[in-house]
Amino acid sequence: MINNPTYMGSISSVSSSSIIVELAESMESGIIIIEGKNYRIGQVGSFVKIPIGYNQLFGVTSESNESSGNENENIISKGRRWIKVELIGEMIGGEFDRGISEYPSIGDDVHVVVDSDLKKIFGLSSTGQFTIGKLSSSDGIDVSLDLDKLVSRHSAILGSTGSGKSTSTASIIRSLVTKNEAIRLPSSRILLIDIHGEYESALGDIAKVFSVLPDSKNPLYIPYWCVSPESLLEFLCGNLTESQKTQYLDKTIDEKKLSIKTNKIKHTLEESVNTLSPLPYRIKKIWHELYYDDTVNWQEKEHIRPAWAENGEGDAEKLLPPRFLPPATGGAAPYKGGPGSMKRQLELMKSRLLDSQYSFLLNPGPWCPDKNGVIAKDLDQLLTDWLGHDKPITILDLSGMPSTRLSLLLGSILDILFESSIWGKNLNTGMRKRPLLVVLEEAHRYLSNKEDGLAKQMVQRIAKEGRKFGVGAMIVSQRPSEIDETILSQCGTIIALRINNSTDRSIVKSAMSEGLAGIIDSLPILRTGEAIIVGEAAKLPTRCRINILPSNKYPNSKDPEVSSNWAKDRAIEDYEPLVSAWRNQVIRKEEK
């Protein structure tokens, strides 16, 4: 066996998940040549195999060292090189599988894994695999991921700024749905949350893009009546007492029941309506009624006629509040009626309803009930817009959205999607029959340990329960240390690009098995667009070069060209268009 050109040493120690291999004297150079190709021995991340009868065990090198003779003297000869190998899988009958059915023994031979072995391991053995790049140590070997496990068991793409994170994300998504630039999965559903407006340039040809910015081709609307009423009420009014909340919620239920008749909504019974039922209601009318109940004064002690001020009935559509004559003193009319305890909250609610920045939510276009409670489009058409179009990808462009609004906006989107996955799990249009992958860019902004908004609550719920209903999450972030541990721990596959910060590396390391720590320590020296992939979707823990995108398909995330732009002659600058764009919340392009 020692004459075998792939032989590199023998096992000198076996533990629960790893082995120590003492390298043969012939390996002193650290390089062997097989079939004209050089293979480096003991390189962290390289693969080895151990033949055991009809089985072949495979492992990945996690540590390389040279014994000083003071440690492990009973295991390793003095002055000999050794490597530590993490056992990861086995091949039986030509089919590779994760995990091992039997352990090797001390003295068993260990061999270098050559390209012919790698082709068997990384070969596309099923239609559920898709190629994302090339093995860093061998450009001729494609690296593929298991699509089913990537989506259903969740995943994370992590990397420091400048590591190629956005480009790699776009490349992986494009590789997932296309092959040779042709769509290979026509019924795929991917919804990408684009925080900075980077991905339309990379994926626009295979995606439908919605934007919260005014004058966009496909405006993004989120009907307020689909949002969790507790979260919406907190956003609209701030802190309320339980009785004040109940007052608001009772009025919404009455409005929802009325909406069933007004909009001729089929297959919905009035007695089944509750606060969570996604039915339209007139929020301005409810505001007006709450204002009336809170401030009304009466002409009689019996509360028969309101003591209206002149032209005081107000207008719900114009958000003009009702006005009443002030209560008299000494037991005379008018008599005080309403408690007057909600005026501050109702004024805040009015300012929200008037603020154009929130129109995508509080004035949602054709999904907004008119003064009679009639809607032009219902919830089924919203889901058709988002998920039922002819493109495999939906991009929701939230660029320019401040963090204060981002959590509510994103949480509302995820709430709508997840609730539809729960109630439609047995239907052909549901997520179990046609699963959904939600890609969450800049996740640290709304999933941090300090954050406690609706977005974090919904992502936690998807991470824990999404698999049962056909919803998978892909978390994309440059600061893994800021992401909630519960969410990151549920990501079955980690795609880690270059990470310079030691705190972030420790978080990634904690999400992987202890034996792979040596591989994670190489994260700071990865090249741009290179990643270490571990987890359920990967056949082996792999160092991979992500596929390069076509030159015209890069995300709009390129660094500014400082030196060339600063070298230009200074010209007269007009800042009026900038201020206009800021005030109107519109990102404009320079006119040529």
In a domain? residue 576: no
The predicted structure's pLDDT at residue 69:
41
Q: Are residues 422 and 336 in the same domain?
A: no
Buried-exposed string 510-543: b where 16+ CB fall within 10 A, e elsewhere = ebbeebbbbbbebbeebeebbbbbbbbbbbbbbb
Answer yes or no: is pLDDT of 591 > 80. Answer: no
Question: What confidence category does residue 589 fall into, taking pLDDT thresholds of 50, 70 and 90?
Answer: low
Q: Are residues 398 and 511 in the same domain?
A: yes
In a domain? residue 342: yes
Q: Are residues 330 and 235 in the same domain?
A: yes
Domain edge (last residue) among 325, 359, 393: 359
Say which CATH number the domain at 383 has.
Answer: 3.40.50.300
User: Tens digit of pLDDT for each residue in 223-275?
Assistant: 999 988 888 898 899 888 999 999 999 999 999 999 999 999 988 888 889 99
Q: Are residues 414 and 550 in the same domain?
A: yes
Question: What confidence category does residue 71 fall into, taking pLDDT thresholds of 50, 70 and 90?
Answer: very low
Q: Are residues 107 and 201 in the same domain?
A: no
In a domain? residue 234: yes
Nearest-angstrom CA–CA distance, 445 and 14? 44
Residue 13's domain comprises 7-122
In a domain? residue 587: no
- Report the candidate in 452, 446, 455 with the shortest Cα–Cα distance to residue 411: 455
Q: Are residues 394 and 526 in the same domain?
A: yes
Neighbours of 248 (CB within 10 A): 23
Q: Are residues 73 and 202 in the same domain?
A: no
The residue that leads in pLDDT, 582 or 274, is 274
In a domain? residue 564: no
Where are the strands (E) in 506-576, listed by range?
Answer: 530-535, 542-546
Question: What confidence category does residue 545 fall into, taking pLDDT thresholds of 50, 70 and 90?
Answer: very high
Q: What is the mean pLDDT of residues 479-501?
A: 90
The predicted structure's pLDDT at residue 70:
43
User: Tens digit of pLDDT for each residue in 53-70?
Assistant: 888 999 988 888 875 444
The predicted structure's pLDDT at residue 571:
84
Q: Are residues 142 and 170 in the same domain?
A: yes
Q: Are residues 201 and 254 in the same domain?
A: no
- Report the candidate in 168, 183, 122, 172 with the shortest Cα–Cα distance to residue 147: 172
Encoded tokens for 229:
């009423």
Answer yes or no: is pLDDT of 77 > 60. Answer: no
The mean pLDDT of the chain is: 87
* Phi-psi region at 347: left, alpha or beta (left = phi > 0; alpha = psi -120 to 50): alpha
One-letter amino acid at 535 equals: G
User: Tens digit of pLDDT for each residue in 417-464?
Assistant: 999 999 898 888 889 999 999 999 999 988 988 888 889 999 999 999
Q: Are residues 422 and 469 in the same domain?
A: yes
In a domain? residue 205: yes
Q: Are residues 419 and 549 in the same domain?
A: yes
In a domain? residue 87: yes
In a domain? residue 454: yes
Domain edge (last residue) among 122, 149, 181: 122
Q: What is the tally of structural domains in the chain?
A: 3
The predicted structure's pLDDT at residue 585:
59
Nearest-angstrom CA–CA distance, 132 and 134? 7
CB 22 within 8 A of CB 12: yes
* DSSP output for 158-215: E--TTSSHHHHHHHHHHHHHEETTEES-TT--EEEEESSS-SHHHHGGGEEEEESSTT
Q: Are residues 146 and 115 in the same domain?
A: no
